[in-house]
Structure 1
Amino acid sequence: MGIFSVIKREVSFTRSLKSVMAPVKDIDPADPILITDDIETTIAAYPDNIAFHFEGNTVTYAAFEARANRIAHWALSEDYQAGDTIALFMENAPDFVATWFGLSKVGIVTALINSNLEGAGLAHCLNIVATRAVITSADLAPRVSKIAAQLEGAPALWDWDGEVGKNLNRALAELPDDRPDQSHRAHMTGQDLFLYVYTSGTTGLPKAARISHARARRSFRIAISTCPLTPEDRIYVTLPLYHVTGGFIGQGGALLSGASVILRRKFSASQYWDDVADHGATVIVYIGELCRYLLNQPEHAKARSHKVKVGIGNGLR
């Protein structure tokens, strides 16, 4: 590569980097603006846009917020306070996002627990954040009940259908779906804690990374500017929402742009291109392993007949 080609490449990279970083330069952690406020702004602008395509159903942004508002009112009814931590232990679903969004409306921190954990590893992740409750699904709730004796503070167990823990869907049905009063989070700034996201635990027990509202605002905005995303985009997210790539880069980008998420409960290499093509995905979210799994599959008839214009992620050489 000649010197002029190198200079041209570096100039292009610098310009791209500036355009990516421009949307985050005005974020001040001391400001009283939370990621919650950003998402509510999107919902006000695009209430009728589809937020989720999931297992044959669609959810609009207005319906998504109504669900989140019920979760916020549920937390208040259970006397959880701003600054408390509630653990979320479930696979990908629209309710995963509605839960942390709803809890953030009243200043509660959500710990995003890896849905593959069990036993001592699961107990460790719940104990290190002093969780006051665990929200889970019926298939995962037995794992929590088995370690109840190891959990500090006796956190309440709620599962969506009440098969093992308390019935969360029944509790939500009796609550209003209007926005809770903003006074519940009025004392907070971007420096305050939003989520706990865990390391993989490959060299020991997982560690809880503290994600502030300001950090989340930056991550979500970078996702928009990198692609860039528009309200017309459809983003295929098959990575787990409890990790940053799927939950922040994929889901977060949609929540600030009004785009739709085509959400899959778990990654499937054999059904990947069917999902992408049949749902009209325009953006895919990846990690390196995902791409390698796809390359190891037999050639798929729809791998070249789709609307994907860009992929965003990490881990590719």
Structure 2
Amino acid sequence: MQYKVLKWLSYASCVIMLLVSFNGVVVTRTGSGLECGREFPLCHGKFVPGTTIGSLIEYTHRLTAGIAGLLALVTLIAFLLWARKRRDFQIYAGVMFLFVVVQAIMGALAVVFSQSAPIMALHFGFALIAFASALVLALSVRRAGNLEARQEPPAEHRMSKRARNLTVFSAVFTYAVVYTGALVSHTELAKFAVVLHIASAMLLVLVLLLGHMAIRDYGQISDIRKLGIIVVALIIALPLSGVLNLVVLGSEYYMFAPMLHTLITDFLFAFLCFMSIRAWELSRIPAGEKSSVGLKKAVRA
């Protein structure tokens, strides 16, 4: 019973964090950031906003962020109580809670004081970390449950430190590119756009190299191979969604394209984070040693 609660809490957290990110895109694209005035948490002095579309969009974003914060807190407490032997799960839940709270505070400060470009970019970047933490938690819980169902964890093959470092660097570099992209969307400065295009091209090559290495050199490790395929598919889709943004600019589909671009970006960074964690684990394990601990055994009876 406790295992099922933890599993579904991790899944629900992942979904709500993604909704927060989506709502943020809608707020930015519609220019609804100040539709509730410079007040927080009230909207023009009321708990329930007016009937204007802009105020409803902004208030929905605030409401979703609030629900995300409460769910993250409940998830953290549940893992602290019921998965005491899985310190890694507790860390993922803690990071998720920390960053969803931080990004909410930054969003509130941006409304009350000013919506400067660096603050809004950080607001998006912290929301991205919160989602990545939620997805890492959900994937880790799912993996632990699958290992438990098999009774015995499979023998793990060691990954080299070089492969591990490339994976971690790819995740960090992806975050840097995403932050630059968020900064460009809020400033529209040409010099930042040039930097973004160069960085995006480098990221494309880097992730393609990482995916090729994961599939060719570590294809015997099932989850590393699958993660390699996923990140390659996402990095190919990312520039295509960027082109779609330009194609539909000014049309009735202008909201769909940035949401798709954000979806791909969020999942790319999150899967790279999970891949980095797995690469770190595998780089520290002698070949053939069984490293994973099933979640059900770690849950307090």
Q: TM-score, normalised by structure 1?
A: 0.26
Q: By percentage of residues, which structure has more strand?
A: 1
Larger RCO (alpha carbons 8 Å, 6+ apart): 2
Q: By percentage of residues, which structure has more helix?
A: 2
